[in-house]
Structure 1
Amino acid sequence: MSYDHVISELPIYKAAINDDWDSVSELFEQDPDLMTKQITYWHETPLHIAVGTGRSHRFVENLVKRIVAVGAKDKLLKKNSAGSDPLHYAATAGNTTAARLLVEQIPEITQVPSWEGRGSLYVAALCGNKETLKYLLTVTREDEEEGGISHYTGLAGGDLITRTIINGFYDVALDIMDMHPDIVLEYDRNDQTALQVLALKPEIFPSGSMLGFWGRIIYSSPSIKNIHDIKVKNHLSSLLVDRICKTIIEHADHNIAWSILGDTMATSVKYGTHELAEKCILYYPGIIWFRIAGGLYLFTAAIEQRQERVYNLIYQMSQFKVWTTLQLSEQKENALHIAAKLAPPQRRNVVTGAALQMQRELQWFQEVENLVQPSYKEALNINGETPRMVFTKSHKELLAEGREWMKGTASSCTVVAALIVTMAFAAAFTVPGGNQDNGNPLFLNYHVFMLFIVSDAVALFSSATSVLMFLGILTSRYAEADFLYALPKRLTIGLLSLFMSLAATMIAFSSALALVLKDKVSWIAAPLIITTSIPVCLFGLLQFPLLVELVKSTYGKSIFHRQNSRMIH
Structure 2
Amino acid sequence: MELIHKYNAALYDALKKENSDEVVKLCQDGEKYPDGPLHILTIHGDTVLHMAAYTVQSYLVTELLDLLANRSSYNLTVQNAVGNTILHEAAAFDELLPAAKKMLEMNSFLLLMTNKSEETALFRAAKFGQYQMFTFLDKESLETRAEINAEDFNQFYQKKDNSTILHAAVISGQFEVALKIAKRFEYLVCEKDENGMTALQHLARHSWAFQVRKAGYLKGFIYKCTGVSEDRSIVPESEDPRGWRVPLWEEMKEEMQTYVSAKELAKFLVMKDTESWTDTKPLEGIIVNTEPKKRNPEIPLLMATKAGCEDIVEEILKLYPQAVEHIDDKGRTILHIAIMYRQLEIFEKVEKMAILFKKLIQKTDYEGNSILHMVGKKTEFKNEQRKKTTKKVKNSDPNKGEDNKKDHTLKETNQNLVVQLQDDLLLFERVKRHCSELFYNNVNSKGQTAEQVFVLKTEDLHTEAKEWLKRTSENSSLVAVLIATVAFAAAYTVPGGSDDKTGVPILLNNPLFIIFTVTDVLSLTCTFTSLVIFLSILTSTFRLRDFKHSLPQKLMLGFTFLLLSVAMMMLSFAATVALMIRNKERWTKIALYTVAFLPVTIFVLSYMPLYLPSLKTFKYIIEIIKPYFPHYTGSIKSENETKFWKFIGKSKTKFRSFTIKSRSKFWRFFGKSKAEVPHPDSLV
TM bucket normalised to smaller: 0.7 to 0.9
- Determine whether 1:220 maps to 2:221: no
SS at match of 1:460: helix
User: What amino acid is the match of 2:98?
Assistant: T
CA contact 1:6–1:41 (8 Å) conserved in 2: no
Determine the C-alpha separation between the residues in 2 that align with 1:405 and 1:307.
26
**C-alpha distance in 2, partners of 1:498/1:365?**
32
The structure-2 alpha-carbon separation of the partners of 1:156 and 1:127, relative to structure 1 and needing over 3 Å to count, comes to farther
TM-score between both structures, scaled by the size of structure 1: 0.82
Structure 1 counterpart of 2:357, from 302, 316, 321: 321
Question: What residue in structure 2 maps to residue 286 of structure 1?
Answer: 322
- Give 1:152-171 correspondences, 5 Å limit: 152-153=157-158, 158-171=163-176
**Of Structure 1 and Structure 2, which has the larger fraction of its residues in helix?**
1
Say whether 1:362 aligns with 2:387: no
| Cα distance change, pair 235–386 in 1 and its aligned pair in 2 (3 A) | same
Q: Which amino acid aligns with 2:90?
A: A
Gaps of 5+ in 2: 228-248, 283-294, 383-409, 623-684
Match of 2:189 in 1: 184
CA distance 1:12–1:52, shift in 2 (3 Å): farther
Matched residue, 1:474 = 538
2-structure distance, mates of 1:37, 1:444: 89
Q: Residues 340 and 374 of structure 2 are in contact (CA less than 8 Å); yes or no, is this contact kept in structure 1?
A: yes
Alpha-carbon deviation of 1:231? 2.7
Preserved contact between residue 267 and residue 315 of structure 2 (Cα < 8 Å):
yes
Matches within 5 A, 1:49-448: 49=50, 51-54=52-55, 57=58, 60-62=61-63, 64-65=65-66, 75-79=75-79, 83-91=83-91, 95-114=96-115, 116-126=117-127, 132-133=133-134, 135-141=136-142, 143=145, 145-146=148-149, 147-153=152-158, 158-188=163-193, 191-205=196-210, 207-208=211-212, 211=215, 213-222=217-226, 224-249=249-274, 262-292=298-328, 294-344=330-380, 349-429=412-492, 431-432=494-495, 433-434=497-498, 437-438=501-502, 440-448=504-512
Shift of 1:555: 2.5
TM-score by length of structure 2 reads: 0.70
Distance in 1, matches of 2:518 and 2:13, equals 80
**Measured at CA, do residues 493 and 39 of structure 1 come closer, stay the same or move farther in structure 2, by a change above 3 Å?**
closer
Residue 492 of structure 1 contacts residue 547 of structure 1 at CA under 8 Å; is this kept in 2? yes
| 1:289-316 residue CA offsets vs partner (Å, 9 max, x unmatched) | 3322622111112212222233222134
Identify the match of residue 524 of structure 1 among 571, 588, 594: 588
CA–CA distance in structure 1, aligned partners of residues 621 and 253 of structure 2: 27
Residue of structure 1 in register with 2:639 after alignment: none
- 1:517 Cα deviation after fit: 6.9
Q: 1:547 aligns with which of 587, 603, 611?
A: 611
Give the residue type in structure 1 aligned to 2:208. E
What is the distance in 2 between the residues matched to 1:410 and 1:362? 22
Q: Once the 2 structures are TM-superposed, how far is the Cα of residue 523 of structure 1 from its aligned partner? A: 2.6
Distance 2:126 2:178 in 1: 10
Instruction: State how far apart, in whole Å, the 2-side matches of 1:181 and 1:279 are.
Output: 18
Instruction: Report deviation, 1:538.
Output: 0.7
Q: 1:108 to 1:179 in 2, by over 3 A?
A: farther
Q: Paired residue for 2:518?
A: 454
C-alpha deviation, 1:174, in angstroms: 1.6
- Number of aligned residue pairs: give it: 550
Q: How many angstroms does 1:408 deviate by?
A: 1.3
Letter in 1 for 2:189: V
The alignment partner of 2:91 has SS state of helix
Deviation at 1:492, TM superposition (A): 1.0
In 2, are the aligned partners of 1:155 and 1:188 still within 8 Å (CA)? no
Letter in structure 2 aligned against 1:201: H
How much has 1:277 moved relative to structure 2? 2.1
The separation in 2 between residues aligned to 1:257 and 1:38, in whole angstroms, is 59
Q: Which moved more, 1:88-97 or 1:545-554?
A: 88-97
CA contact (8 A) 1:51 1:86 kept: no
Tell me what 1:511 maps to. Answer: 575
Structure 2 CA distance for partners of 1:510 and 1:71, relative to 1, 3 Å: closer
- Residue 47 of structure 1: how far off its partner (Å): 6.9
Cα RMSD, aligned residues only: 4.1
Judging changes above 3 Å, is the alpha-carbon distance between structure 1 residues 132 and 367 closer, same or farther for their aligned structure 2 residues?
A: same
Cα deviation for residue 351 of structure 1 reads 4.4
SS, match of residue 158 in structure 1: coil
Structure 1 residues 293 and 352: alpha-carbon distance in aligned structure 2, compared to 1, 3 A threshold: farther
Q: 1:155 to 1:267 in 2, by over 3 A?
A: farther
SS of the residue corresponding to residue 294 of structure 1 reads: coil
Give the CA deviation at 1:10: 6.1
User: Deviation of residue 365 (structure 1)?
Assistant: 0.5
Q: CA 1:171–1:156 in structure 2 vs 1: closer, same or farther (change >3 Å)?
A: farther
Could you tell me how far 1:338 is from its partner in structure 2?
Answer: 2.2
Contact 2:53/2:61 (<8 A) preserved: no
Could you tell me whether the CA contact under 8 Å between 2:296 and 2:329 is conserved in 1? no
Stretch deviating more after TM superposition (175-184 or 254-263):
254-263
Q: Distance in 2 between matches of 1:481 and 1:450?
A: 46
Letter in 2 for 1:235: V
- Alpha-carbon distance, 1:415 to partner: 1.9
User: How far apart are residue 282 of structure 1 and its match?
Assistant: 2.2
Question: What is the distance in 1 between the residues matched to 2:510 and 2:175?
Answer: 67
Counterpart Cα distance in 2 of 1:7 and 1:227? 45
CA distance in 1 between partners of 2:44 and 2:450 (Å):
67
CA distance in 2, matches of 1:44, 1:410: 61
Given that 1:300 and 1:335 are in contact with CA atoms closer than 8 Å, whether structure 2 keeps it comes out as yes
**Structure 2: how far apart are the matches of 1:263 and 1:122?**
26
DSSP 3-state at the match of 1:151: coil
2-structure distance, mates of 1:255, 1:515: 76
Deviates more, 1:421-430 or 1:544-553: 421-430
CA deviations 1:165-221 (Å, max 9, x no partner) are 33332221122112211212223456532212222222222x455645422234334
